[in-house]
Structure 1
Amino acid sequence: MDEHALEELDEMGADPDTRRRQPSRGMFLLPSLFTAGNMAAGFYAITQSVQGSLFDTSYFDRAALAIGIAVLFDGVDGIVARATNTTSAFGRELDSLADVITFGVAPSLLAYIWGFRMIPALSNPDLRGQIVHLGVFICFIFLICGASRLARFNISINPQPRNPGRPGKKYFVGMPIPAGAGVIASVIHFQKGSPIDNPWIALVWVALIGFTSFLMVSNWRFWSAKEMTSGKRRPFQLVAVIAVFGALIVLYHRYMLIILAMVYLVSGVLARLAYSWGRRRRHA
């Protein structure tokens, strides 16, 4: 903090401890560096997606892994910003723009090329063309739903889900866009980047992308991990749990990533069904 800012604090009557707690200007760059890493991973995923082919499917796998790494960067930049008290309007806007690229454009392009563009020529060319066109449409729906989810998050003040959970516990309203991108990336990584070659499986892929898009713009509650990173309760146990999960992900990443992604997706659905069932019981 410069001398002019300190003089303003003196005029406002701020005590010396308050002045020392103010982070320096350089500290505000720290969360933005993780946001830049998020964006770099998304750009890398795009470049790998467009290079993928039936002859070398490793490009698709690398693109999916890059999106997974970006999810990690996205979580870390928020933790760092809160821990260092360096949240800012600039950081929030930069994070939203990075999320549109990394978790909107990159996974929708990857989902289209991997799931529809690589379908081989069929005995009925018209059927393949219709599936490819449907893939273009559903991947765009994923992109617009993810962008809408981000816009709603930015303008909402203390949003409440339609099916509220435990009082005092924070929830996301709708599936966050990084989780939606993680669903797509985890499936592709589980398949080691091997693209879809069956038109019926491509229709299942359409359903999964469409349902994930719906969850992002829904008003259903999804668990937020913010209370875990607040540092108020059991920090050592939290570190141990994170270390165990980190080791499992490193050792069994193909299975762990898709399990985590699908469990999180299903958790929102189950929470909604449980709330509806409980409300009907209360009315009865």
Structure 2
Amino acid sequence: MSEHQDQEPQAHKGIFLLPNLLTTGGLFSGFYAVVASMNGDFKLAAVAIFIAMIFDGLDGRVARMTNTSSAFGAEYDSMADMVSFGVAPALIAYNWGLSELGKVGWLAAFIFVAGAALRLARFNTMVGVADKRYFQGLASPAAAGIIAGMVWLGSDYEVVGHSINWIVAAITIVSGSLMVSNFRYHSFKDVDWKGRVSFLAILVIVLVYVVIATNPSLVLFVIFAGYAISGPFVTIRGVRKLKMEHVVGDSDDADFDSSNEAKQSTQDKAETPKEKSDP
């Protein structure tokens, strides 16, 4: 009788529909990007990666707003991100411009996949511990944005990827390496999205949308590439003396000179560790 009572609550357990539905949408977009690249439709494949980013940005926020965060959702989100921002961009880059390089081509694509996997694993182990204002290493969606933006830009300007295969290989390897680096990137999680803003701020946001709409492939590639470059500058500015362990190594090796950030990190430890978040 007691065993039946212990098992009964388990039968009522389930998963929250809305956030996991959004996560599934991101997973589908990543898988569709792979299929599109195999069919030679590289522009559509690149657009699918950016659509996956939208789903990835929504699922965690919806889960927190509706109080439907769960350990299952966090794990499912990481697995979906591995497909959408790890495997899919690497295969797109390989099919578009790396396949004719032989071993160098698929090794460059693997470096990106491995970087995304290590980046997501490290992020999951640091949730609730690291300073939420910064990412350690380039976030996997941003790295995927560089690859997708490059392919989209090349498709718009009718550039054959195999004609610039060494450039594609270099960008793919650097993007994958930045994900496992110790460079710090602003996470923008300290922005008060619920607060009031001036009319000028709304006008600036509208202008940003207009600029992106004029040439989305070029603007998105420049934005994500600029964000990737910002990491080393932020890191160099924030350390007392730049050492090799500030670039690669464990998070404990980084000696950042900021007492306020240490205080903020201590406060973040008290927050709930298990919630969906941007990797």
* TM value normalised by structure 2: 0.74
1:55 is matched with: none
Q: Flag the 1:214–1:235 CA change in 2: closer, same or farther, 3 A.
A: farther
Asked whether 1:147 is paired with 2:117, we answer yes
1 CA distance for matches of 2:14 and 2:192? 23
Q: Flag the 1:159–1:206 CA change in 2: closer, same or farther, 3 A.
A: farther
1:196 is matched with: 161
Match of residue 32, structure 1, among 20, 34, 53: 20
Match of residue 170, structure 1, among 126, 129, 133: 133
Structure 1 unaligned spans of 5+: 1-24, 53-58, 120-130, 162-168
What RMSD, in angstroms, separates the aligned Cα atoms of the two structures?
2.6
Q: Flag the 1:29–1:247 CA change in 2: closer, same or farther, 3 A.
A: farther
Please give the per-residue CA displacement for 1:44-67, whole angstroms capped at 9, x wherever unaligned.
101111111xxxxxx011101100
Match of residue 212, structure 2, among 236, 249, 264: 249
Q: Flag the 1:94–1:189 CA change in 2: closer, same or farther, 3 A.
A: same
Q: Which amino acid aligns with 1:42?
A: G
Tell me, what secondary structure is at the counterpart of 1:191?
helix
1:159–1:173 contact (8 Å) kept in structure 2: no
1:231 is matched with: 194
Alignment of 1:90-101 (within 5 A): 90-101=72-83
Please give the per-residue CA displacement for 1:69-122, whole angstroms capped at 9, x wherever unaligned.
1111111112212222221111111100100111111111011110122x5xxx
1:42–1:101 contact (8 Å) kept in structure 2: yes
1:228–1:238 contact (8 Å) kept in structure 2: no
Q: Which amino acid aligns with 1:217?
A: V
Alignment of 1:9-24 (within 5 A): none
2 CA distance for matches of 1:209 and 1:216? 11
Q: Flag the 1:99–1:231 CA change in 2: closer, same or farther, 3 A.
A: same
Tell me, what secondary structure is at the counterpart of 1:147?
helix
Q: What's the CA shift for 1:249?
A: 2.1
Tell me, what secondary structure is at the counterpart of 2:135?
strand
2 CA distance for matches of 1:77 and 1:226? 15
1:27–1:84 contact (8 Å) kept in structure 2: no
Q: Which moved further from structure 2: 105-114 or 69-78?
A: 69-78
Tell me, what secondary structure is at the counterpart of 1:172?
strand
Asked whether 1:107 is paired with 2:95, we answer no
Q: What's the CA shift for 1:38?
A: 0.4
Q: Flag the 1:61–1:173 CA change in 2: closer, same or farther, 3 A.
A: same
2 CA distance for matches of 1:241 and 1:227? 19
Q: What's the CA shift for 1:244?
A: 3.5
2:154–2:161 contact (8 Å) kept in structure 1: no
Tell me, what secondary structure is at the counterpart of 2:190?
coil
2 CA distance for matches of 1:235 and 1:176? 30
1 CA distance for matches of 2:71 and 2:203? 33
* TM value normalised by structure 1: 0.73
Higher RCO, Cα 8 Å, sep 6+: 2
Identical residues among aligned pairs (%): 40
Q: Which amino acid aligns with 1:62?
A: L
